[in-house]
Structure 1
Amino acid sequence: MTDATRVVAGTELPAAGTWKVDPGHAEVGFVGRHFLLTKVRGRFTGVDATLEIGEEIEDTTVRAVIDMATVDSGDQTRDEHLRSGDFFDVEHHPRATFESVSVTASGSEATMVGNLTIKDVSHPVALAVEYLGHARDPWGNDRAVFSARGKINREDWGLVWNMVLESGGLLVSKEIELVLEVEAIRSV
């Protein structure tokens, strides 16, 4: 087995090759605001993602498929509403995808731009990615750990349901923060 990491310009990074996201150790989440005040968090538990880490970090690609029916915000009624035609419409659009198109790296941090497709609508999204390190688990698997964040306007994907409050504000924020914490296992 070759080394799971390498040093690039003085920074330890994952070795080039295929790394598969471990869904049991992946947080693919979002944060919105209720009444434009309270943070409401949710996540998708059904995630299938592969990282092809390039010899040159800029050649790295990511492809992810998200099972939209697995949305979990901690409230069953809200989750059912998110699955409905008002939001994700999982009956007609069961999956969302993310496919990277570019990576710009500096040390252990990078900006990854990719096309996020929800309800058959695609728009570019920029994610600030940080490589947090490597660990070998008790079963001998090499794991690379990443954190990523980005912001989107949900209405760009046709997620426009909302209610105007008596005060004139909106019930649900348009701006959504994407928050990802993932472990990827190296394929041998």
Structure 2
Amino acid sequence: MKKQILNFLTIVAISTALVGCKKAKEAETKAAEEVAETTAVSVKYKVDPGASTVSWKGFKPTGSHHGVVGVESGVINVKEGVVESGTFLIDMKSLEVMDIPAEDEMNAKLSGHLKSADFFDVEVYPAAAFSVTGFTTENGKSTLSGNLKMKDAENNVTIPVTVVENGDTVTIKSETFTIDRSKWNVKYKSKSFFEDLGDKFINDDIELQVNVVAKKA
């Protein structure tokens, strides 16, 4: 009996570990596409920077770091619950690290490194941009496609989202997804660009979750 209980607990522990280690799905990524057009009957919403964020998480063999980046501005055009077109700018200079206390010198060191030319080079590329190219809903699940321009590269990504209209406000919230940073030329300690890194590499996958809130213009 004890052996059966032990076996059962072992299975539960392994199952829990597997669920906890489940990675977010990588966004479908392809070449940039033509940006969607706006029709006269769509409703225009202006992005609220104070209520909108992009959460990020990066991984390496010894652990991970996470934080947020602010949304600078943007416009979203919606027609009958469908995102028809729009663009929003991500303020790369606002990048913050959240898993290290703000007063810890390592916080400033890490955020400064992420903003440097090793990673996102925010002095040269202060903003990233997402421009809508398409929106589909199948079996009750919606996906938003758009051109993500970051640094000197632009690719089209498709991400699962939920769109909620509430009075004069519309909220677009994505599920957690990943992008491959190497496709935007973020090269530091990437196995896609450098060999013989051993266990000193940093994963190419960056985990993201987008939450954009916009108010009727």
Give the secondary structure class of the aligned counterpart of 1:89: coil
Q: Per-residue CA shift, 1:158-179, capped at 9, x if unaligned? A: 1010178x99334422111220
Aligned match of 1:175 in 205, 208, 213?
A: 205
Aligned-pair CA distance for 1:46: 4.3
The alignment's TM-score, normalised by the length of structure 2, stands at 0.66
2: CA distance, partners of 1:53 / 1:112: 12
Mapped contact 2:71–2:88 kept (Cα < 8 A):
no
Larger helix fraction of residues: 2
Instruction: Give structure 2 stretches of 5+ with no counterpart.
Output: 1-40, 99-106
Mapped contact 1:163–1:170 kept (Cα < 8 A):
no
Aligned-pair CA distance for 1:47: 2.2
Mapped contact 1:31–1:179 kept (Cα < 8 A):
no
Mapped contact 1:108–1:130 kept (Cα < 8 A):
no
* 1:94-113 matches, cutoff 5 A: 94-106=126-138, 109-113=141-145
**Matching residue's letter, 2:123:** E
2: CA distance, partners of 1:182 / 1:56: 15
Of structures 1 and 2, the larger Rg is shown by 2
Aligned-pair CA distance for 1:54: 2.7
Paired positions, count? 164
Instruction: Give structure 1 stretches of 5+ with no counterpart.
Output: 1-14, 137-141
Q: Per-residue CA shift, 1:135-155, capped at 9, x if unaligned? A: 45xxxxx22222113321001
Kindly indicate whether residue 214 of structure 2 is the aligned counterpart of residue 184 of structure 1.
yes
Please name the residue that 2:49 is paired with: 23
Mapped contact 1:61–1:101 kept (Cα < 8 A):
yes
Change (3 A) 1:51 1:178: same
Change (3 A) 1:62 1:169: farther
Kindly indicate whether residue 70 of structure 2 is the aligned counterpart of residue 40 of structure 1.
no
2: CA distance, partners of 1:110 / 1:25: 22
Larger strand fraction of residues: 1
Aligned sequence identity (%)? 26
Aligned match of 1:160 in 176, 187, 210?
A: 187
